[in-house]
Structure 1
């Protein structure tokens, strides 16, 4: 017997609320009230603009939904119905008898990223429903995010998909913040085990293609590639792309050039994109944005455009929804990259939002622009740049 839509939405539901009120506490309370669309709320996921007072945001959330577990972070822009926005508090709520949620946090992460990932994966032991995902939110200013993902894999193995993103601070690069119940955290990782009686699925795509022959990482350290094919990595990268002369010597020219030309890293799941534009090292002639790139690995220079990026938006949504195996979706979380936002510009992200709205239809969706995306269905790696990561729930 087919379960009716009403029964599905009573047992498992997702709601989204957004508020553009300038008062941080009032905006948070308003967004929470709009998001609470069903019975038995299990989790609130809060995406707050960096311009908001974070303590006031959490106070507003707690006042509007006392006792409901809360996770979240600051953003480089908030994603939701009505298009991308800045300056809002956007909240996704999950609930119903058919969902279980358990949350935990690891602090003082720098220098022990792998162990922190292992620790937050422990919350998966607290849920029992058959369809599960570990959602991970990280401090986007912590280096070597890939090790956090690998720590989760060490704890969970290949059977549990991962989804998440790195908190952002609007390109200030001075302090991105995580939320866990009433706490505002830095140098931390939050884990949320989400378990359901119905399928949960992860999709991820980037819109970049490799250019030319691969290069070998011959020296790497601290999330940076020092040499490619035994030559300074920055020079090899720029030469492969016939970069203008000023990109070799001027930091702003390098950033502008590299923004739409990530480094491709060979992984078991394919070639992943790594943003190079946030950390310029013209003196040391190295490249990298903080993600782990192992010596001996294959890399490519990559390029893309608005059309290929928006096609990847479609692909990520399609992949996630297809993995629901025909079950009716109740909502999506959609995490896109701050670097993609810079590449697309205001009109491009508006069109990205329109693509998301078409895929969502009448179901709610919410997310944020991140300093890195987490998505893994198989394999040990799963930290991405310049991608769209989608979590679909049914």
Structure 2
């Protein structure tokens, strides 16, 4: 197995920077305003796995404001990619995309070692269900939601031949070398907890019978302020990045693991729109992070991914990383430090990191989940 990563102003430039193939698998992550039309194919597979990423992406050579690509040469492995629109619903689209990916890999009826997924935001829980309808719940699903630069809906997924502004792209991986992964956040729980008493989809209405935003603002010491009377909905994505809401999913030893939900929009009524679904009756905890913890966490997750698969004793081929776009915006000036930390953990192997508006990953004893403000890393031995 050989892995390369490269970047460029456009998808075509980034692909040309890879050099000649043949490549078994290519994933590309791009600024939503970059040119993602593929004009010259140099040993590429029939379809690439593409998704927009907040303000560009990062590789082992640094951040790019354009397009980053990650390519695997693995003649002994099998890889396939499928894309589908939400015309028949997100869950059905994910099922169809997964089946198409398996068909392209010539592995219909088999379970891949890992699924790599990108989808436009809003229905990620259904996407996970649709993939599991094909692969079962034991196969790890890792990926991140398409992102734009200002939460204005300019995101999309693409496969080198077309794009979907409401859709999903799925890749199935049957690599010939071992892989390992980790999925974590860089936040700690506070002593502020409450019960969800009213919710509508991803709109959190009440906590402990009170308007959700009133409770949340008080919890944060008004670091995330209330919406002024007479104002319309206000985006709080940036202000809330260091103050997400967590749900305890499981415990590793005596240490609780929290899956995060990121408050995105506040209303004068006290309702809060979230980037993940919370359920009525769930206990939620105010979480807190620091900019330094977010800078350091990417390298720690990369190290954990190596250790989990016992791939830390020698060189690796490369890695894929998902780094929350909200976290990136909070530490934007420190992205060189983030890259350096990942390079140290990976021994300067080629890697690609996408900045996403939702993160999917696998938790021990809890299966595949969708969360926010998370970081994941897949290491290829």
1:261 aligns with 2:243: yes
What does 1:142-161 align with in structure 2 at a 5 Å threshold? 143-161=122-140
Paired with 1:288 and 1:367, the residues of 2 have a C-alpha distance of: 27
Whether the 8 Å contact between 1:162 and 1:377 is mirrored in structure 2 is no
| Residue 52 (structure 2) aligns with | 74
| Residue 33 (structure 1) aligns with | 16
| Residue 89 (structure 2) aligns with | 112
Please, which of 264, 275, 298 is the counterpart of residue 290 of structure 1? 275
The CA deviation at 1:153 is 2.9
| Residue 14 (structure 1) aligns with | 3
1:134 aligns with 2:115: yes
| Residue 78 (structure 2) aligns with | 100
| Residue 293 (structure 2) aligns with | 308
Whether the 8 Å contact between 2:245 and 2:285 is mirrored in structure 1 is yes
> For the structure 1 residues 117 and 297, does the alpha-carbon distance in structure 2 shift closer, same or farther, using more than 3 Å as the test?
farther
| Residue 24 (structure 2) aligns with | 42
1:299 aligns with 2:284: yes
| Residue 83 (structure 1) aligns with | 62
1:214 aligns with 2:193: yes
Whether the 8 Å contact between 2:227 and 2:234 is mirrored in structure 1 is no
The CA deviation at 1:245 is 8.8
Please, which of 334, 339, 344 is the counterpart of residue 331 of structure 2? 344
When you count helix as a share of all residues, which structure comes out higher?
A: 1
Paired with 1:245 and 1:96, the residues of 2 have a C-alpha distance of: 48
CA RMSD of aligned residues (A): 2.6
Paired with 1:107 and 1:383, the residues of 2 have a C-alpha distance of: 20
Consecutive unaligned residues in structure 1, runs of 5 or more = 1-11
| Residue 318 (structure 1) aligns with | 303
TM-score, length basis structure 1: 0.84
Consecutive unaligned residues in structure 2, runs of 5 or more = 252-256
Q: 1:224-281, CA deviations, whole angstroms, 9 ceiling, x for partnerless residues?
A: 21111121111111112221595342766955532321111232472112211x323x
Whether the 8 Å contact between 2:236 and 2:265 is mirrored in structure 1 is no
Paired with 1:120 and 1:353, the residues of 2 have a C-alpha distance of: 32
Paired with 1:101 and 1:182, the residues of 2 have a C-alpha distance of: 18
Please, which of 307, 316, 320 is the counterpart of residue 329 of structure 1? 316
What does 1:110-259 align with in structure 2 at a 5 Å threshold? 112-122=89-99, 123-124=101-102, 126-127=106-107, 132-140=113-121, 143-243=122-222, 246-249=225-228, 254-259=236-241
